Amino acid sequence: MLSRWVIGLMGLVLCACADTPHYNQSYNFRVTIENISQDGQIAPGAYFVSSEENLLFTVGESDRGIGLETLAEDGDPLPLARAFIQMGVLGSVFNLDSVDYLEGAIGPGQSFVFEITAAPGQSLHLATMLGISNDSFYASNADGIELFSGVYPLPLTQVTDIALYDLGTELNEPLGEGANQPARQQSPGSGDPENGVVHMGDETYPQANELMQITVELIDANE
Please indicate, yes or no, if residue 14 is contained in any of the structural domains.
no
Please indicate, yes or no, if residue 51 is contained in any of the structural domains.
yes
Please indicate, yes or no, if residue 138 is contained in any of the structural domains.
yes
CATH for 62: 2.60.40.2130
Please indicate, yes or no, if residue 170 is contained in any of the structural domains.
yes
Please indicate, yes or no, if residue 6 is contained in any of the structural domains.
no
User: pLDDT grade, residue 15 (50/70/90)?
Assistant: very low
Digit-coded pLDDT (tens) for 79-115:
999 999 999 999 999 998 777 777 889 999 999 999 9
How many domains, the chain? 1
Identify the sign of the CA torsion 163, 167, 168, 172: negative
Question: Can you name the residues that pair with 29 across neighbouring β-strands?
Answer: 116, 218
Looking at the whole model, is its pTM more than 0.85? yes
| pLDDT over 60 at 6, yes or no | no
Digit-coded pLDDT (tens) for 59-75:
999 999 999 999 999 99
Please indicate, yes or no, if residue 72 is contained in any of the structural domains.
yes
Structure-model confidence comparison of residues 182 and 21, the more confident one: 182
- Domain range for 96: 26-221
d(CA 39, CA 95): 19
Q: Which of 76, 106, 105 is nearest to 93 (CA)?
A: 76
Please indicate, yes or no, if residue 16 is contained in any of the structural domains.
no
Q: How many angstroms separate the Cα of 177 from the Cα of each of 117, 144, 181, 193?
A: 40, 32, 8, 18
Please indicate, yes or no, if residue 7 is contained in any of the structural domains.
no
